[in-house]
Amino acid sequence: MSAPAIELSAHGGLLQPSYRLSAALLAPSVLVIAVLLGIPLLLLLRYSLNRFVPGEFMVQALTLENYRKFMTDPFYREILVRTVYVGVVSTFAAAVLGFLPAYHIARTQSRRAKSLLIIFVILPLLMGNAVRVAGWLVILGDQGLVNAALRTLGMTTDPVKLLYTQNAVLIGTISVLLPYMIITLHSVIEGISPALEEAALGLGAGHCRMFWRVLLPMAMPGLVVGGVLCFILAMNAYATPLLIGGSTFHMMAPEVYTQISQANNWPFGAAMAFVLMFTTLVLTLVSSWCLSRRSAAAHGA
């Protein structure tokens, strides 16, 4: 006999939907996502197997020439390595810089103060990414705030080159990722009872030991989710490396756009897009698995 669509709860006879009903409710949205995302991806995959001929746009073929070109060309391999480096470093920095603010917000007793702090955190998200990046142009430029402060303090007479460097791209990317990391960590830390921290401190553990043995393992799910979200955003960053990095700093997303829109090389641009997507997926799965194993080992200890 098949399971009923609606099941009676053991508490007070309340009706709760079964898995079958849940699947039926999710089916339309899943179908829309599959169609709107799956069909373009399949089409892009087919394009990546075609051959590019200057003057003919794209020649129908079934070849791995575009992927081979990417893997054998040192220039494009360096772009991929640089993109992964920026993604890893900016995600790690966002986790380190975002943990303390997230903890402070989660442990704030006043609901009004907590709401104001959350508003301050998410306020940058209400502006476009290009607007936020433009702010860093003002801060890091040769005539920007940082160089003006250095000249005022007598630390330099010539402008220090801050803009259009890898460090500038890292700074801009971290600033974009921080709100996502703080909000994700805050929601997890808020669910951790302060009594557990007090118990660890009361049993003789110092603050550092309490953090490593109690707080960090319990906050690990938030770090995993926030890390995955931030890493995906950093790997696919477009406006930040383009505006702050300049024309000499290449990352994967701007290069994909350049190949497709400017060089009209759709096959190679599509191949680069799939290399970026595959690399992001593999690194995300591996890092999530490692962090989950570490969290499980910490809980077991």
> What is the rounded average pLDDT of the residues 199-203?
87
The pLDDT of 38-49, averaged and rounded, is 91
Give dist(CA 253, CA 153) in Å, integer: 39
For residue 9, the model assigns a pLDDT of 45
Calculate what percentage of the chain has a pLDDT beyond 90. Answer: 46
Residues 6+ apart with CB under 8 A from 67: 48, 271, 274, 275
The residue assigned the tokens 């790997």 is: 235
Per-residue pLDDT, averaged over 107-129, amounts to 89
Q: At a CB cut-off of 8 Å and minimum separation 6, what does 143 contact?
A: 159
pLDDT exceeds cutoff 60 at 134: yes
Looking at the predicted structure, is the pLDDT value of residue 125 above 90? no
pLDDT reported for residue 8: 45
Reported confidence tier of residue 3, pLDDT bands at 50, 70, 90: very low
* pLDDT grade for 104, boundaries at 50, 70 and 90: very high
Predicted confidence at residue 289, as pLDDT, reads 84
Q: 172: burial class by Cβ within 10 Å (0-12, 13-18, 19+)? A: buried
What is the distance between the alpha carbons of residues 174 and 47, in angstroms, rounded to a whole number? 34
Q: What is the mean pLDDT of residues 271-288?
A: 92
Backbone angle region of 181, left / alpha / beta, with phi > 0 → left and psi within -120 to 50 → alpha:
alpha
Could you give the angle at the alpha carbon of 257 between the alpha carbons of 256 and 259, nearest 5°? 65
Nearest-CA neighbor of 106 among 193, 174, 179?
193
15 φ, ψ (degrees, to nearest 5): -85, 130
Tokens of 100: 């303390």
Structural domains in the chain, CATH included, are: 55-300 (1.10.3720.10)
Q: Please check the confidence at residue 4 and state whether its pLDDT lies above 60.
A: no
What local confidence, expressed as pLDDT, does residue 1 receive? 42
Q: Which two tokens stand for residue 248?
A: 């000499």
* Cα gap 235→85, rounded to integer Å: 9
Half-sphere exposure of 257 (CA within 13 A, CB side): 10
| pLDDT computed for residue 250 by the predictor | 92
**pLDDT at site 6:** 44
Q: Which residue has the higher pLDDT, 104 or 20?
A: 104
- Residue 281's closest CA among 214, 232, 225, 208? 232
pLDDT per position as a tens digit, 136-181: 888 988 888 888 888 888 888 888 888 899 999 999 999 999 999 9
Q: Name the token pair of 19.
A: 């898995």
Which residue is it, tokens 């992964």?
84
Quote the mean pLDDT of the chain: 86
Decide which of 228 and 23 is more confident.
228
Residue 152, class by beta-carbon neighbours within 10 Å (0-12 exposed, 13-18 middle, 19+ buried)?
exposed
What pLDDT shows up at residue 293?
74
Q: How confident is the model at residue 294 (pLDDT cuts 50, 70, 90)?
A: low
